[in-house]
Amino acid sequence: MNTKVVKPFLKWAGGKKQLISEIQKYYPFDNRNIKKYAEPFIGGGAVLFDILNKYEIDDVYISDVNKELIITYNTVKNYSRELISILKEYQEEYYKATETKRKEIYLEKRQEFNILKQQNDTKNNVVQAALMIFLNKTCFNGLYRENKKGYFNVPMGNYKNPLICDEENLRIASEKLKKVSIHLVSYEKSYDFIDEKTFVYLDPPYRPLNKTSSFTSYTKDNFTDKEQLELAEYVSKLNKKGAKILLSNSDPKNYDENDNFFDELYSEYRINRILATRMINSKGNNRKAISEILVSNY
């Protein structure tokens, strides 16, 4: 058991912080043969950091296709001191500003972030990561969303004094991530890392519950039913390798009891339904408890 406890340094749509107590029940680390961990859709990393807080793992692999997210993880890992210095400046500037000025600051930093995204210059990675964290802490609901051109377009949120620079947590996160291999690749690239000694947690972009769902993707490319089917094929490949696999997704039966999409797709595995609170809603009273699915091969 590690003594220093880290928590996610980013809020994330579909983040698993509220479900950790349920997901913990599926950790297979009581099996001494499980010595590796892989999370190919890392997002906010709630499960990753919970595992790093609780267990000593020999090898850890995380990845995502969101370039800005991976830049931020690598920056926290390798350049935490420089990152914290910039975030302190951002926080001081923001706290001192009036409400009107804060809106100006937010829009300026969002524009700067989008410019750096397009420039694709690694020399700007620390600043880009700082902007990513700033926007994440001050935007609406901590969303990350891109338009078709790849520009971050989430509006400003309504927070009095958001903790933009959580210095202690960033330092601990940097320490914990030293043992983690971080990759900007699609999920199937994790195949060579994964073997019978690996616990794999898959948390893909969720299948929309209905046609009016307002958030289905955090990159300009959507994760449709076609991609869900391809992911299921990948799960089958990992299952044949002998890996311990846990996958989470939305439960279509919340809106249509006859929708057996996932029940049929993962019929050869265990499917459990757990309650979660839907957070992507502008009206707080509409954030109701709904079920989600956890699929496991053990």
pLDDT averaged per 10 residues in sequence order, the chain, 298 residues: 84 87 96 96 97 97 97 98 98 98 98 96 97 98 91 96 97 97 98 98 91 51 90 98 97 95 98 78 59 97
> Where in the chain is CATH 3.40.50.150?
17-65+185-296
Q: What is the pTM of this model?
A: 0.92
Structure confidence at residue 280 (pLDDT): 46
User: Which CATH number is associated with domain 72-168?
Assistant: 1.10.1020.10
Separation CA 263–CA 251 (nearest Å): 9
Tens digit of pLDDT for each residue in 27-50? 999 999 999 999 999 999 999 999
Which residues are CB-contacts of 85 (< 8 A; sequence separation ≥ 6)?
A: none
- Token readout for 127 is 């600043």
* Distance of alpha carbon 295 from alpha carbon 269, whole angstroms: 7
Joined tokens for residue 264: 């049929």
Confidence at residue 219, expressed as pLDDT on a 0 to 100 scale: 52
pLDDT of residue 88: 98
What is the second-level CATH architecture of the domain 17-65+185-296?
Answer: 3-Layer(aba) Sandwich (3.40)
Tokens read off for 104 = 């100006």
Q: In the chain, list all ranges with CATH 1.10.1020.10.
A: 72-168
Q: Give the H/E segment covering residue 23.
A: helix 20-23
Contact 104, 119 (CB under 8 A): no
Give the pLDDT confidence score for residue 287 in this predicted structure.
Answer: 55
Q: How far is CA 282 from the centre of its chain?
A: 20
How confident is the model at residue 288, as a pLDDT? 67
Among 90, 30, 34, CA closest to 60: 34
H-helix or E-strand spanning residue 63: strand 59-64
Beta bridge partners of 201: 246
Both tokens of 213, joined, read 């769902």
Number of Cβ within 10 Å of residue 36's Cβ equals 18
Question: How far is the C-alpha of 293 from the C-alpha of 297, rounded, in Å?
Answer: 13
Q: Which residues contact 257 (CB under 8 A, 6 or more apart)?
A: none
Q: How many degrees, rounded to 5, is the angle at CA 147 between CA 64 and CA 93?
A: 80
